[in-house]
Amino acid sequence: MKQYFILFINLLFLYSCDTRSNKVPAPKVLEKPLVEIYKAPDTSDLKDDEWGRQVKYGRRLIENTSYYIGPEGIVSKNLGNKMTCTNCHLNNGTKPFGLNFFNSHKTYPQYRARENAILTMSDRVNNCIERPHSGKPLKLDSKEMNAIVSYIKWVGEKYDPEKHQGYSLKYVDYERLQADPKRGEAVYLKQCKTCHQEDGQGEMNVEGTKYTYPPLWGLKSYQEGSSMHRVIKAASFIKYNMPDKIATLEKPVLTDQEALDVAAFINDGSIHPRPKAKPGHVDYANIKTKPIDYFKAPYLDGFSEKEHMFGPWDEIEKFYTDKGLKANK
């Protein structure tokens, strides 16, 4: 109520200024529509034409990736594991703050620090096939790549960064916090074990085509150096999305501290091994751009691998901002 009253007074004031002089620019706040959470389109609105069929095939690939292009895929055998894109890009990349594709297509080609190169949308899709899926890249002109990129384009077609929010992730507030894998184990046993299992290997469906609960570590899970392997990023995904279908944006189950702790427990290489990148592979060749929570040296700053992985990140962040550089995360 109080805000409305203040707004009313402001409007009155602006109006009276306006009558005296028409040089007063219209206040921005009045032009801007409310920021709303983007809602992805519905496949039932797609026509049964070439485009509609292509987008729907793309969606099926995101949802049942392993069935089509997994280790025993019916179309090709690109992936090295049986995870699917939707295991991380929730609801086929349409969930607000659930690693969705809302603003993806519009922002590529773009410079990517990890590869130290300009990547197209297709290159970025292949990144996820090579890293979390430990796979071989799809051919850029394949029907499958075309379908996936078309689907990603369609999901974000009406997304307007000026008007909408909800893209990708909402970050946890890690200021002054440090992640502790030991405390994270307790969180895991209490909040995650029922689905992802005590050994973190999750559970397959009866047909063996898809995980009902995907693995969080071990050789069947995502690779070292994947984005989910970074503690701040993983904690941000976990806080607003896990436990699955229980945690929400408004009512997360975990605190920032618990999300960071459990992300540290999952990603701690000294307790939970996972596939390694190909020998000779170099991430962030330009070390100035290395994210503050990346697990492996060399770093531009003097902080250790352990500090980068588990924080606290405030001093690390300060090192970069003091130099006028971006502290990536």
Closer residue to ligand HEC, CB minimum distance, 169 or 292: 169
- Rank residues 27 and 109 by Cβ distance to ligand HEC and give the closer one: 109
**Whose Cβ is closer to ligand HEC: residue 150's or residue 168's?**
168
x/- track of binding to ligand HEC for residues 156-195 (CB under 6 A): ------------xx---------------------xx-xx
Task: Report, in Å, the least distance between residue 39 CB and ligand HEC.
Answer: 17
Query: Which of these ranges, 11-19, 83-91, 269-277, 313-321, lies near ligand HEC under the rule CB under 6 A?
Result: 83-91
* Binding residues for ligand HEC restricted to 269-328, rule: CB under 6 A: none
If binding is defined by CB under 6 A, does position 66 make contact with ligand HEC?
no
Selected range binding ligand HEC among 1-9, 34-42, 234-242, 321-329, rule: CB under 6 A: 234-242
Query: Which lies closer to ligand HEC via its Cβ, residue 151 or residue 299?
Result: 151
236 burial class (0-12, 13-18, 19+ CB within 10 angstroms)?
Answer: buried
Q: How far is the CB of 262 from ligand HEC (least distance, A)?
A: 5
Work out which of 40, 262, 292, 309 binds ligand HEC, going by CB under 6 A.
262
